[in-house]
Every structure is written in C-alpha cells, then in structure tokens.
Amino acid sequence: MAKVKQSDLPSDYGALLKAVKERVRTAQYQALKVVNKELVGLYGILGG
C-alpha cells in the first residue's frame, strides 16, 4: 500500500473519518442490541 502524504488529503478528511467511524460504531451497537434481543428470546424458549 502506498503512503499518502498529509498534503494529498482533503482539508476536511479528519472530520469525515471521525464521522464515518462514529456511524460504523453506531451501526455495530445497533446490530449487537438486535442479536442480544434474539438470543434472550431463544434462551427463554429453550429454558421455559
């Protein structure tokens, strides 16, 4: 992979990267909550 010079990046790259990372974290958290909800339901069926 080629090195990218700081001067080659757009001026708002840092803000864009931060926003993308936050959206990924938010999506991962939402997915985790859905999976956990389904697992709790499954455990209830299996144990009840």
Q: What is the pLDDT of residues 1-48, one digit of tens each?
A: 678 787 888 899 999 999 999 999 999 999 999 999 999 999 999 986
Query: Model-level pTM?
Result: 0.71
Q: What is the DSSP string of 4-43?
A: --GGGS-TTHHHHHHHHHHHHHHHHHHHHHHHHHHHHHHH
Count of domains forming the chain: 1
Query: Is 2 a domain residue?
Result: no
Q: Please report the pLDDT score of residue 21 as a whole number.
A: 98
Whether residue 22 contacts residue 16, with contact meaning beta carbons closer than 8 Å, is answered with no
Query: Is 43 a domain residue?
Result: yes
Q: Please report the pLDDT score of residue 48 as a whole number.
A: 65
Query: Is 37 a domain residue?
Result: yes
Query: Is 5 a domain residue?
Result: no
Domain that residue 18 falls in: 13-47
Containing 2, the helix (H) or strand (E) segment is none
Interatomic CA distance for residues 25 and 47, integer angstroms: 32
Residues in the chain: 48
Query: Is 4 a domain residue?
Result: no
